[in-house]
A and B are shown apart, each in its own frame.
Chain A
Amino acid sequence: MFFLKTNYSHPYFGVGMKDISSAAPGVAAWGMMIGVSMIQSGMSVVDCVAMTLLVFAGSSQLAAIPLMAAGAPLWVIWATAFCVNLRFIVFSAHLRGYMMGWPRWHRLCAAYLTADLSYVQFVKRFEKPATDMQGKQNEQAYLAGSCFLNWSSWMIASLMGIILAHYIPVQWGLSFAGVLALVGVACSLANSSLKIVSCLIGGLVAITSFFLPLKLNILLAIASSVCVCLLIEPYLSPTDASQNKTRHD
């Protein structure tokens, strides 16, 4: 991962950092908001810092914080976090083809550090897993660079949120910057009509199934988009279909 010299001295390390740098301020805003909410829930500073440094998963932290404050049983908190994190299991299926050639502990470190945006930028940059040694090294260095910048901006902002919790005006809605970073990245992904369909279906399903507990609406949205896109793929205009064919066969 990013602490390996073969990765951080590789030219693709910088490419990975550059690709995610534009969205980093949004990641930071979101991280800072989580830092503030941890303090506001009444957790001690030590616990907040430990949670930030160890858990490194914003939405599962956000789900766990009120449960911990209410003194819920541990298994309830863990089960909740697991469900909120289910989308990562889908991402891991996608990343498997890229990572299986790496030694196991590299895979585990990389997986632990690969949050949503690093995953999205990675599979956008490398549409298919490389088959040669050179390509695999590029991929590993790229992911390391991307994770490094994402992780460090998250950590710095989240720790700042913990320290400055009482001075940050949460009601201003600064965390909307995190949503806007996702809007920008989503626009960069929408390069075919099928991707736009996937985007719309994901959004609509997530809204209509928002009543589901444990953020399961996100998982349902991903599953519905993937299924609908696979179903309509053969009926789309020939240019689109052939574009997809050359890319994926």
Chain B
Amino acid sequence: MHPKIKPAMTEAQTLLCILGLALITLITRAFFFMSEQQWRLPALIERGLQFAPIAALSAVIFPEIFLWEDHFSGLLMNSKIYGGVAGAAFFILKRGQGHAVFGTIVVGMLTYLPLHLILGWN
């Protein structure tokens, strides 16, 4: 168990904090359609947004794989690179058919875990 230390916030403050965080989830996710007002995004932005989903994903993936804390984690002894590449290769070989994303996870983990746990790479 954790040693009993004086909590940094009172119970009421913690709950208030959590309620505020929940409200922030709602406000940010519903930001542009909370009001009933009729307006359209400019056509250029509407067209540009089709590139947002993949950029959002790679913006999470790349730092997770290539950075350790905030340093470049190296290329050769980086088990996440091998895991990521193996997973992506599996997806491409399967041409995305069936449960290819699940296969990506399995193949990626099977590559990553031995390198990470046995060889002790990042």
Contacts and interface: CB of A to CB of B under 8 A. Distances in A.
Interface residues of B, number: 77
Contacts of A107: 30, 33-34
A92 B29 contact: yes
A186 B61 contact: yes
Interface stretch (A8-16, A77-85, A134-142, A149-157): A77-85
Interface string A203-226: 111110011000001100110111
A236 interface: no
B109 to A, nearest CB: 6
Contact of B102 (A25, A85, A94, A190): A25
A116 interface: yes
A163 interface: no
Interface string B1-38: 01001011101011111111110111111111110101
A146 interface: no
Given A22-B101, A42-B2, A85-B28, A180 B21 contact: no
Given A92-B32, A93-B45, A226-B52, A108 B26 contact: yes
B92 A187 contact: yes
Given A64-B17, A71-B8, A218-B59, A180 B83 contact: yes
A229 B53 contact: no
Interface residues of A, number: 95
Contacts of B101: 22-23, 26, 181, 184-185, 188
A134 B84 CA distance: 40
B61 A77 contact: no
Given A186-B54, A217-B63, A86 B28 contact: yes
Interface in A172-196: 172-173, 176-177, 179-190, 194-195
B92 A229 contact: no
B29 A181 contact: no
Interface of A: 21-23, 25-26, 42-44, 47, 50-51, 54-57, 60-61, 64, 68-71, 74, 77-78, 81-82, 85-97, 99-100, 104, 107-108, 111-112, 114, 116, 119-120, 123-124, 127, 172-173, 176-177, 179-190, 194-195, 198-207, 210-211, 217-218, 221-222, 224-227, 229-230, 248
Interface of B: 2, 5, 7-9, 11, 13-22, 24-34, 36, 38, 40-41, 44-67, 70, 80, 83-84, 87-88, 91-92, 96, 99-105, 108-109, 112-113, 116-117
